[in-house]
Amino acid sequence: MKIHIIFTPTQLDDLYFANKTTVVIDVLRATSVIMTALNNGAREVIPVNTVEFAMKVSGNAFGGNTLLGGERNTKMIEGFNIGNSPLEYTPEAVGGKSLILFTTNGSRAIVKAKFSENLIVGSFLNLHAVVKYLIDLNTDVEIVCAGANGMFCIEDTVCAGKIVSELVKKMPDVELTDSSRASVSLNKSFGKNIQQMLSETEHGKLLVKNGFASDIDYCAQVDIIKKIAKFSSGSIKLFDFENPNTVENN
């Protein structure tokens, strides 16, 4: 297994990901929201890369069982049903619903990687489930950090570094690229106290300023969700990788 970290996917062509195994990470907050929504009973999450496309898709479908969710510059978008705080995605709010999600960074990164053969989302919330899935798959991996407006961010890279570190513990012969080694080093420096690290990042400070400090506490939790979520045919659903013919939340 060879592991490569992409610090931001902005400059890559969509076809770069063709036939690859890819993990997309946007800790604050898109992939944390996706895992929370699906774990709380959402039928599926449909990531989109523009607000206009989100509106178009929502106007065509799903018989009222659809939510428009997401944010622009941390705030809920006018005309949307729900924002981008994982704490909003309760069982009562999302149970049985299809969620169309637009976010500044995370949903766009997932759409960018849509041609991957295996595409899953990662966060601190489901970190070891991601590790187990990658070990079982035992193929080369691209870990995509959604970043911040096309730029590097610490929180996604530290999460990637934790995934790489756990894989190395269990598979000592794994091959690391330079970016993977850098992510491991950042995890050693900043990953001991995840809540503190998230609070001190640029985006974390912005979230606190805009009233979302509780989101940081939530997103800092490790392994509270023991599942993975996989993108296929335009949507993300919980995936039972021990029984690959079974997709949850059908």
Does 167 fall in a domain?
yes
Q: Where are the alpha helices (DSSP H) in the chain?
A: 30-39, 51-58, 91-94, 106-112, 127-137, 154-170, 178-190, 194-200, 202-209, 213-219
Residue 244 domain-assigned (yes or no): no
pLDDT computed for residue 63 by the predictor: 56
> What is the pLDDT, as a whole number, of residue 240?
76
Domain for residue 154, yes or no? Answer: yes
Reading the block at residue 88, the tokens are 């909003």
160 is a domain residue: yes
DSSP label at residue 76 = P
Number of domains comprising the chain: 1
pLDDT at 245: 55
- Dist. CA 48–CA 6, nearest whole Å: 20
Task: Determine the 3-state secondary structure of 227 from DSSP.
Answer: coil
Query: What residues make up the domain containing 219?
Result: 2-239
**How far is the C-alpha of 174 from the C-alpha of 90, rounded, in Å?**
38
Quick: pLDDT tens for 4-55. Answer: 999 999 999 999 999 999 999 999 999 999 999 999 999 999 999 999 999 8
pLDDT at 13: 96
DSSP state at residue 8: -
Listed as ranges, residues in the chain with pLDDT below 50 are none
Q: Is 217 part of a structural domain of the chain?
A: yes
| pLDDT given for residue 73 in this prediction | 84
Query: Is 91 among the domain residues?
Result: yes
d(CA 197, CA 143): 20
pLDDT, position 56 = 84
Burial of 178: CB neighbours in 10 Å, binned 0-12, 13-18, 19+: exposed
Q: What is the pLDDT of residue 115?
A: 98
**141: in domain:** yes
pLDDT at 55: 87
Q: What is the CATH classification number for the domain harbouring 138? A: 3.90.1560.10
What does the pLDDT read at residue 249? 61
Can you give the pTM of this predicted structure?
0.94
Residue 249 falls inside a structural domain: no
